[in-house]
Amino acid sequence: MIKTFKKGGVHPPENKISRNAALEQLVPEGIIQIFISQHIGAPAECIVAKGDKVKVGQLIAKANGFVSANVHSSVSGTVLGIENVADYQGIKKPAICIQVEGDEWDENIDRSPEINRDLSKTSEEILAKITEAGLVGLGGATFPTHVKLSIPKGKTAKAIIINGAECEPYLTSDHRVMLEKGEELLIGVQLLKKVVNVDKAYIGIETNKQDAIDNLKKLAANYSGIEIVSLKPKYPQGGEKQLIKSITGLEVPDRALPIETGCIVSNICTTLAVYEAVQKNKPLFENSVTITGKNLNVQKNFIVRVGTPLTQLINAIGGMPENTGKVISGGPMMGRAINNLNAPTLKGSGAVLFITKEESKRGTKSNCIRCSKCVAACPIGLLPFLLYKLAERNMLEDLKENSVHACIECGCCLYTCPANLPLVDYIRLGKTRAMKLIVKQK
């Protein structure tokens, strides 16, 4: 049975043109820059100094507090120092700069191609390994994984949900991982189940990736308690709340965490990283990145080391196509335009998308005609047209009353709006401001 969520959602063209490109390693050259804050929470504390020699997988910045994550070197070479480096959006943040010299890995990392099926580790050991490896959610939010897996007191988890929906158009890196690293993924799922002490796991996959569903179904026969769920292709199927609703039928209450429903949602790449961290001792220093665009001659799915300059990724596909109007980090719906092409990649970078000049521009803005298409499209059940106006006028109390905090910024409203109003721009701004007000009032 194909499952889905009912409320809202849109059907943008899929454009998964890079779906057949197998994963490829991309080894960086020259100088790489690794941000010390690649996650939600406190920035990590740098523990290397200028002139230090580092190996691939060596700890270079230590987690600072519980809600924080370790950062490891993704290359071997010499540390050039800590500098303020501009990120994708041109905002400067401290980063550790390393001159690449060879590709020497830390001895503890198991680089053999054999799959380690040993599941004898206790849940504490697994969690310790995950914390040590600096794992963060690779779906985009980069929330430290060990925090997510530490269930608050008084709550119990009932199931793990693995998010293989990959509902954003263009993106295919999760798809490739499911096809090429299926078994590793399933072992990762078993490890996650053990950490949170549940015996049921679901992997939700949209039916536009039928080959991945078949592959995982075949493999899952050897593992107990893993169910592959076919999901209807619909955006935002991979939203945490939407996925829980689709698979279990449970609704995450307003202002509550998904654990209220007993579900813990993890991304495909994160689950693979769990396998690698626990079974192969490999910290999180690389991630699969889709490089795609209608105007590219080659479509690629790279495994990219964290901190690789974007220019190297662009060179690897033969340079930037001439009629590129916009480069986006992430998918076209939620991704953000990149204005600094010299920026290094992050742990959470999942895709680099090239948009042609003709498609990059927004339509001309006109007036709201109250057609309520945005209301119908909102998967949360908010009133985007109202929130937009309230945010524009900075009416924070009213924004709060109208549950602006629940907005997941999925962009469905903007996608459907016939008047091309910058709905998400303002709602995001209003949300940030209203959240500050809510925190203040507490």
Partner 1 sequence: MDSTILTTVIMLGLLAATLAVILYIVAQKFKVVEDERIGETESILPGANCGGCGYTGCRAFAEALVKADDISAMFCPVGGNTTMTKIAEYLDKLVETKDSEIAVVRCLGSCENRPRVNEFDGAASCAVMAATYSGDTDCSYGCLGKGDCVSVCNFGAIRINSETLLPEVDEDKCTACGACVKSCPKLIIELRKKGPKSRRIYVSCINKDKGAVARKVCKTACIGCAACRKACAFESIEIENFLAYIDPNKCRLCRKCVEVCPTGSIVELNFPPRKPKVEPQEPKANVVNTETVTN
Query: Contact positions toward partner 1, by CB under 8 A?
Result: 86, 89-92, 336-337, 339-340, 360-362, 392, 422, 425-426, 428-429, 432
CB of 27 to partner 1, least distance (A): 30
Least separation in angstroms between CB 83 and partner 1? 11
Length of the chain: 442
Q: Provide the token pair at 19.
A: 């779906």
Distances from the Cα of 40 to the Cαs of 98, 335, 374, 401, in angstroms? 23, 17, 29, 26
CB of 141 to partner 1, least distance (A): 17
Q: Which is nearer to partner 1, 151 or 429 (CB)?
A: 429
Residue owning tokens 């099926």: 117
Beginning with the edge strand found earlier in the chain, give each strand of the sheet holding 263-267 in spatial order: 226-231, 201-206, 159-164, 263-267
Q: For the chain, what is the largest distance between any 2 Cα atoms, rounded to a whole number of angstroms?
A: 64
Helices 182-196 and 210-220 cross at an angle (nearest 10°) of 60
Distance in Å, CB of 68 to partner 1, minimum? 24
Burial of 226 (0-12, 13-18, 19+ CB in 10 A): buried
If the CB atoms of residues 50 and 362 are measured against partner 1, the closer one turns out to be 362
Least distance CB 302 / partner 1 (angstroms):
24
222 or 432: CB nearest partner 1: 432
Position of tokens 């206790």?
A: 122
Interhelix angle 173-180/182-196, rounded to 10 degrees, is 100
Nearer to partner 1, 62 or 93 (CB): 93
Among the listed residues 52, 180, 195, the one whose alpha carbon sits nearest the alpha carbon of residue 119 = 195
| Shorter beta-carbon distance to partner 1: residue 289 or 414 | 414
Residue in the structure block whose two tokens are 């991704």: 335
- Whole-angstrom distance, CA of residue 336 vs CA of residue 339: 9
Shortest distance in whole angstroms from residue 128 CB to partner 1: 38
Q: Which is nearer to partner 1, 116 or 340 (CB)?
A: 340
> In the complex with partner 1, which residue's Cβ is closer, 27 or 91?
91
Distances (CA, A) of 82 to 31, 47, 98, 261, 270: 12, 11, 9, 43, 28
Closer to partner 1 by CB, 207 or 342: give it. Answer: 342
- How many Cβ atoms from other residues are within 10 Å of residue 351's Cβ? 23
Q: Which is nearer to partner 1, 122 or 432 (CB)?
A: 432
CB 310, min distance to partner 1, A: 14
Q: Please, what is the minimum distance in Å from the beta carbon of residue 362 to partner 1?
A: 5
Please report, for residues 249, 328, 391, the alpha-carbon distance to residue 246 in angstroms, rounded to integers and kept in the order given: 6, 28, 31
Which tokens in the block code for residue 122? 């206790």
Minimum CB separation from partner 1 for residue 417, in Å?
12
CA atoms within 13 A on the CB side of 27: 9
Distance of CA 168 to the CA centre of its chain: 11
